[in-house]
């Protein structure tokens, strides 16, 4: 099938760029101590997760219990939920899932640790835990090293939990456009984390894992030899927001649309916010420029495009945010040039529980 036969709006991935991004990441981490544990939220396709494991990833990171269930169901054996699971019914499901795979979850609260232990005891499973350390994002995690120590000691006292290490994720730095600023901020965090690790050691707590990092900090993290796991997700697709950072990855993910209406200054396509995440901005046209884009549910109005279009013509847009865009689709077409060569089902689409 040719690209022009795909019913639009649809997500397509250019095979050669997609594969080259995966190779770039492998090359970046080759020979170092930092291992890839890619984030599932960016593609949510079990088939891609398996490709990542085959290329050397030590496991998969995800954000949600339902994503972990999807990954385990597909046969992924080492899963990190880089998030806190605090709802009683979810804790129970998590404890049972821990019988089916090596399951790690983040914690930042003593009561939550106690509940995880109780559920794991009842399910007869072992849950691995990372204590989340807050390093500036002000999302989850505990701020002081004393609080990390106290949680780690509590976990070590629990027969059905294993203290496996620390998660320290600086999401507020990921998209900083200036390399210097990104490096400076990462270095500040490095000192803070080194101090934490020294403090834990002095208190006989030895984290095996230090997990975090993103596509935006991948190059810096590969050089700094502190983290043991890199949770990058977007590197395979490189949305328009990440493209601005000049990283060694190229955009492989496009939203294929069809022109539905043309007037003097505006070209309208059959995709809008119901098929393209705009939480990080408007998509960027591929191969031409526009003066602005106006979005509605099922339309993007492309103002003053730099080339002429006719009704029925295909248009490619690069989504500003791949993760929120992927979650709106059932499948991603893998294309080689202008031919469809495969299709990835987005098996964890809408898995937000």
Ligand X SMILES: Cc1ncc(COP(=O)(O)O)c(C=O)c1O
Q: Which residues bind ligand X (CB under 6 A)?
A: 39, 42, 82, 169, 171, 174, 214-216, 231-234
| 269 vs 100: CA distance, rounded Å | 45
The least distance separating ligand X from the CB of residue 197, rounded to whole angstroms, comes to: 19
Residue 186 C-beta: closest distance to ligand X, Å: 14
The nearer residue to ligand X, 6 or 135, going by C-beta atoms, is 135
13-49: b or e for each residue (b if 16 or more CB lie within 10 Å)?
A: bbbebbbebbebbeebbeeeebbbbbbbbbbbbbbbb
Tell me which residue of 47, 88, 99, 39 sits closest to 64, measured CA to CA.
39
Is-contact 208 167, C-beta < 8 A? no
**Among residues 169 and 344, whose Cβ is nearest to ligand X?**
169
Nearer to ligand X by Cβ, of 252 and 301: the residue is 252
CA distance 117 to 296: 47
Radius of gyration of the chain (CA): 22
**Tokens at residue 170, please?**
């600086």
Q: Which of 98, 57, 101, 56 is nearest to 78 (CA)?
A: 101
Q: 207 vs 233, which CB is nearer to ligand X? A: 233
Q: Given the complex with ligand X, which of 160 and 321 has the nearer CB atom?
A: 321
Nearest-approach distance from CB 141 to ligand X, in angstroms: 10
Measure the CA–CA gap between 106 and 97, rounded to whole angstroms: 15
Q: At its nearest, how many Å lie between ligand X and the CB of residue 2?
A: 31
Closest CB 139 distance from ligand X, rounded Å: 8
């Amino acid at each position: 099938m040719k690209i022009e036969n795909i019913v639009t709006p649809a997500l397509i991935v250019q095979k050669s760029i997609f594969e080259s991004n995966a190779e770039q990441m492998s090359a970046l981490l080759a020979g170092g101590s930092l291992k890839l544990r890619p984030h599932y939220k960016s593609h949510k396709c079990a088939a891609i997760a398996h490709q990542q494991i085959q290329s050397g990833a030590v496991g998969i990171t995800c954000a949600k219990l339902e994503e972990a269930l999807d990954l385990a169901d597909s046969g992924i054996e080492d899963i990190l939920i880089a998030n806190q699971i605090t709802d009683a019914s979810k804790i129970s499901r998590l404890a049972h899932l821990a019988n089916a795979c090596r399951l790690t979850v983040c914690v930042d609260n003593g009561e939550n640790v106690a509940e995880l232990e109780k559920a794991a005891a009842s399910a007869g499973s072992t849950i691995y835990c990372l204590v989340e350390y807050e390093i500036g994002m002000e999302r989850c995690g505990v701020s002081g090293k004393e609080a990390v120590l106290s949680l780690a000691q509590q976990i070590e006292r629990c027969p059905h939990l294993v203290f496996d290490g620390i998660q320290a994720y600086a999401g507020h730095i990921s998209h900083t456009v200036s390399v210097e600023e990104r490096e400076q901020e990462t270095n500040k965090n490095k000192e803070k984390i080194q101090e934490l690790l020294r403090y834990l050691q002095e208190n006989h707590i030895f984290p095996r894992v230090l997990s975090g990092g993103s596509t935006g900090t991948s190059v810096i993290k590969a050089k700094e030899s502190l983290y043991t796991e890199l949770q990058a997700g977007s590197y395979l697709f490189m949305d328009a927001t990440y493209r601005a950072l000049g990283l060694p990855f190229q955009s492989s993910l496009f939203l294929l649309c069809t022109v539905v209406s043309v007037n003097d200054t505006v070209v309208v396509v059959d995709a809008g916010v119901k098929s393209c995440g705009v939480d990080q901005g408007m998509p960027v046209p591929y191969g031409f420029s526009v003066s602005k884009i106006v979005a509605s549910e099922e339309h993007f109005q492309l103002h003053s495009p730099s080339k002429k279009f006719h009704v029925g013509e295909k248009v490619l847009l690069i989504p500003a945010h791949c993760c929120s865009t992927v979650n709106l689709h059932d499948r991603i077409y893998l294309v080689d040039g202008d031919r469809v060569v495969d299709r990835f089902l987005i098996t964890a689409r809408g898995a937000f529980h």
